[in-house]
Structure 1
């Protein structure tokens, strides 16, 4: 089964089970509940110096940017997930906005 399909199935399961997480929970707290800090960080506590380990962890569950929708594909090879998704600050369901980087009206 492809990573994309698995991610879609996981997303659907989470959506159907609204009690699975609190909307005011950060992305980091949500991921920690699913597997501890080790699910994102090599030493279970702090980020790697270049963020590469965490980026690989994102892709191991969610797939690569190239495998995702058009908004993600456009950033493949140029950015890492954490460039937009600030896991310790953003809440579950909160999405970054394009105009944080693009001031020309691109969506």
Structure 2
């Protein structure tokens, strides 16, 4: 094939991708994504939030592992925080990540922790 035809096909493919429904989809909350798996019961006992969040924390760990088993950013928080303390499932969209300075005002960053 000639370069012009290949370029035209590549351009058409990029345009189709950019206009596809998934590319233009609205951000989805973490809770919505998890609810698609098994309804609200994916995270909540009987679909209702627990009083202290402990049940939901156990549900997070049953799929994602414990904080101690995770990367260097999560490990220092083991025993101190629950997942929803940083990952607000009803407020954050899929792919959003909390930053260190959301809680720490002393200049800590994930890059500093990993060095």
The normalised TM-score by structure 2 is 0.71
Gaps spanning 5+ residues in structure 2: where?
Answer: 1-21, 110-115
Aligned equivalent of 1:55? 57
> Could you tell me how far 1:106 is from its partner in structure 2?
0.8
**In 2, Cα distance between the equivalents of 1:56 and 1:34?**
17
Structure 1: stretches of 5+ with no match in the other structure: 1-18
SS of the residue 1:35 aligns to? helix
The number of residue pairs the alignment matches comes to 86
Residues 33-52 of structure 1 mapped to structure 2, 5 A cutoff: 33-44=36-47, 46-52=48-54
CA RMSD between the two structures: 1.1
CA deviation map 1:23-49 (0-9, x unaligned): 6000000000111110100011x2100
Whose Rg is larger? 2
Which residue does 1:27 correspond to in 2?
A: 30
Structure 1 residues 25, 49: CA separation in 2 closer, same or farther (over 3 Å shift)?
A: same
Greater relative contact order (Cα 8 A, min sep 6): structure 1 or 2? 1
Structure 1 residue runs of 4 or more that deviate by more than 2 Å after TM superposition: none
